[in-house]
Amino acid sequence: MKYLRDHKSIFVIAFIVTALICLLLAGFRYVLGAYKVTTVSVEGNVHYSNGEIMKLVMDGPFGDNSLFLSLKYREKSVENVPFVSKMDIKVEDPHTIRITVYEKALAGYVEYLDKFMYFDKEGMVVEASDQKTAGIPLVTGLSFDHVILYEPLPVEDPEIFRSILSITQLVNKYNLGIDRMFFAPDNTIMLYFDDVRVALGDPEELEEKIMKLQYMLPDLTGRSGVLRMENYTEETKNVSFEPDPEPEPEPKSEAEDEAVAETSDEEQPDV
């Protein structure tokens, strides 16, 4: 009895500690179950799939717990992701979160040193990648001697990037699968769609021309040539198509001529 009296405080402390640990474990299990994310909505993403965005946001321990996510992203967003300015995470309810992706406004890309260098509407090179991005066209005809990440492309006329962005946005708006765009030294523009080249001329009336283009391209499927839209306006509607010349048949070699002659002789009927 004396031993129990002398050590009573130790038993009380041990009991309290054990009870607290049990409560903490029970609370932890409750939080894990009560705040488990079962529904995720993703919006604004083009370059990345929903699954890739979810993995970026919900990676790591307790990544599927809405309470943990709300604390993790309370005063910050997901940054330093290629092609993305930021991602905001909002907890709708204990089981639902919404991820809003704000992608960089890419105008186009150029090829440089085996890399695809993506630039924005100001010509700022914002990403270097080994992969092409759907909806962002290759731009050719620009003259530059170097490319530095996070610096503008050193072209003579920076205003050209606004035309590039306008064309990119318009062809995406009208679901036109452009292969590339070419800017000539005089600033005239050529768009490439498979074997059809579209001569837009100078960067005027771009919206009207590309809006008209969406109705004309289906009729040119399987053909090759140049669609002349340099002088197209809402008033004149001047458009023409110049088909590429048919390739000339290759001349037969002397050996082929002899083979044909021998075949003709063999086919002569006996008299």
100 vs 41: CA distance, rounded Å: 8
Query: What's the whole-model pTM score?
Result: 0.66
Both structure tokens of 95: 């089981």
Closest CA to 31 of 83, 63, 68, 77: 68
Average pLDDT across the chain, whole number = 84
The arrangement of secondary structure in 106-243, i.e. its CATH architecture, is: 3-Layer(aba) Sandwich (3.40)
In the numeric block, the tokens 């083009």 are attached to: 46
pLDDT score of 128 more than 70: yes
> Rounded to the nearest 5°, which phi and psi values hold at 181?
-125, 145
- pLDDT digit string, tens, across residues 177-217: 899 999 999 989 999 998 999 999 998 889 999 999 999 99
pLDDT score for 167: 93
Map out the domains of the chain as residue ranges.
34-103, 106-243
95 vs 93: CA distance, rounded Å: 5
**Which residues are 93's β-sheet partners?**
96
Residue 271: band (very low, low, confident or very high) from pLDDT cuts 50, 70, 90: very low
- Fill in the amino acid letter for 157: D
How many other C-beta atoms are found inside a 10 Å radius of the C-beta of residue 89?
Answer: 20
How many other C-beta atoms are found inside a 10 Å radius of the C-beta of residue 35?
Answer: 19
Angle at 179 between CA 172 and CA 222, to 5 degrees: 105
pLDDT score for 255: 58
53 vs 141: CA distance, rounded Å: 35
> Rounded to the nearest 5°, which phi and psi values hold at 196?
-105, 125
133 vs 243: CA distance, rounded Å: 31
